[in-house]
Amino acid sequence: MRTVSDGPDLNPHNLINVALHHLDVLIALIPGFLIFGGLAWWLAPRRGWDRGPAALGGCALAAAWAVTLVRPFGVFAAGGLDPLTTLRLCTVGSWSLIHLYEQLNVAMLVPFAFFGTLATRRPLALVASSALVSAVAEYVQAATGGGQCQARDLVHNTLGGVIGALLAAFVLLMQARRSRELTVGAGAGSGSSR
């Protein structure tokens, strides 16, 4: 996610201002939704996933990458194609959740992990996928100079993946419990009518 680590924190007013000055991100959402959401919709029955949440998870992934990767290159130092040079540009950053941009980094992958877990029923796979998505985004930022590669962003994004996966696991648990209660209730009802 774009950060303002050396400047003032974001607030709702300047967040809207940033969004209005980066219409390229909003424009990138349309093909991103079609590609990632459509691919997830197509893959779902082939993988045994629930189609609706899979498509929403694909759209959430497109949104996360649009916010993270759609930006002018060369704003920051770029590592280019050499992985060692690129990784040397990565920094640790401050470990905090005080600032809005840090909170947004956590929130960024919550929808992806939530809908992905509902679709696949594999929370650990979605946490790992969230970490991988974040690592790729941080690497691309460092390679292109379109952002700062920071380990704290990887941790914040992955924490969002954990939160999303846990929320979805809870929803799945409640659905399973309700389904069991309905099955037991239906069985008890049919047994008493004999």
Count other C-beta atoms under 10 Å from residue 8's C-beta.
8
Alpha helices in 23-109 (DSSP H): 23-32, 38-47, 51-69, 83-88, 100-107
pLDDT at 35 exceeding the cut of 80:
yes
Mean pLDDT of 57-69: 93
- Closest by alpha carbon to 106, among 130, 142, 141? 130
Confidence category of residue 14, pLDDT binned at 50, 70, 90:
low
**What pLDDT is attached to residue 175?**
93
Q: What percent of the chain has pLDDT over 70?
A: 82
**What pLDDT is attached to residue 3?**
45
Confidence category of residue 6, pLDDT binned at 50, 70, 90:
very low
Alpha-carbon gap, residue 119 to 51, rounded angstroms: 7
**What pLDDT is attached to residue 87?**
85
